[in-house]
């Protein structure tokens, strides 16, 4: 039997009721933020496979995002001639709350430094969840005399906000500034975002394989295979002013 359910973390009593009523000893846990709750799920269910966890602790079988996300994005931009690159991220002030995002941002600074490319402080900022706060940060970015040639944007909400801001200001994405998205979460946007993503069909197949191995007493960890899905948000070749 296959069960599909959504559980929003609350209290212990709610979780006990949820796990009991689900009527299964097998579960796929998607995008869990904390290792503490993931351990709770692993304890409650005999067979558990984590999919794309956002915490750093390996507890059992899991499929994890490839750690090469930022390297793939930057190398793609470098090959097209981009050197002045910004980054819109979701790293909280308490970075332990968003370790995956933190490591991607750390890789951004590291790789840019290794290539000798400068980063202005204003080119990198936390992408607020509220439109008014995001708009304020974007205004500061585009008020600079020297704006980045391209930005890497983490998350679908920030990507939509950036497109909205540029549309409101007459800034043409792909011409005035390049955009590299993370995950293929906004195919409806125009110009179509160039993005770093993975294949959900492959992830689903791998998840079933890991569950079968888990049932047979085997624990395994896999990483996703990332690739660039080309859109029109990045110009092929940079003309410097």
Task: Please tell me the predicted confidence (pLDDT) of residue 238.
Answer: 60
Return the top range by mean pLDDT from 104-113, 184-193, 229-238: 104-113
pTM: 0.85
Task: State residue 11's pLDDT score.
Answer: 55
C-beta neighbour count of 234 within 10 angstroms: 26
In angstroms, the Cα distances linking 125 to 27, 118, 190 are 37, 15, 24
Sign of CA dihedral 98, 197, 130, 14: negative
Token couple for 40: 């709770």
DSSP state for residue 177 in the 8-state scheme: B
Q: What number is the average pLDDT over the span 105-130?
A: 94
CA 72 to chain centre: 13
pLDDT at 3 over 70: no
pLDDT score at 160: 94
Q: What is the pLDDT of residue 164?
A: 96
- Side-chain half-sphere of 55: how many Cα atoms within 13 Å? 16
* 215-241 pLDDT per residue, tens: 999 999 999 999 999 999 998 766 555
Of 167-171, 175-179, 218-222, 237-241, which gets the smallest average pLDDT?
237-241
Asked whether the predicted pLDDT for residue 169 surpasses 70, the reply is: yes
Integer CA distances (angstroms), 46 to 107, 205, 218, in order: 36, 20, 13
CATH of domain 69-196: 3.40.50.2300
Q: Where are the domains of the chain?
A: 12-65+198-225, 69-196
d(CA 197, CA 182): 7
Output the DSSP codes for 53-65. -SSS---SEEEE-
């Amino acid at each position: 039997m296959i069960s599909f359910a959504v559980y929003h973390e609350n209290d212990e009593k709610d979780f006990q009721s949820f796990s009991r009523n689900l009527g299964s000893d097998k579960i796929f846990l998607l995008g869990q933020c904390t290792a503490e709750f993931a351990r709770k799920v692993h304890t409650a269910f005999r067979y558990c496979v984590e999919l794309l966890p956002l915490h750093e602790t390996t507890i059992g079988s899991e499929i994890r995002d490839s750690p090469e996300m930022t390297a793939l994005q930057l190398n793609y931009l470098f090959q097209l001639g981009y050197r002045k690159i910004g980054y819109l991220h979701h790293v909280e002030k308490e970075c332990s709350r968003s370790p995956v995002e933190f490591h991607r941002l750390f890789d951004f600074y590291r790789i840019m430094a290794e290539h000798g490319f400068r980063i202005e402080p204003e080119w990198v900022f936390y992408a607020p969840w509220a439109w008014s706060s995001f708009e304020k940060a974007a205004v500061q970015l585009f008020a600079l005399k020297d704006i980045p040639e391209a930005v890497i944007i983490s998350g679908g909400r920030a990507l939509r906000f950036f497109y909205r801001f540029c549309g409101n200001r007459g800034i043409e994405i792909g011409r005035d500034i390049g955009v590299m998205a993370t995950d293929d979460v906004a195919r409806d946007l125009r110009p179509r975002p160039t993005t770093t993503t993975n294949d959900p069909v492959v992830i689903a197949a791998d998840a079933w394989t890991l569950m079968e191995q888990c049932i047979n007493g085997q624990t395994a960890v896999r990483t996703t295979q990332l690739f660039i899905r080309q859109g029109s948000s990045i110009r092929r070749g940079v003309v410097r002013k």
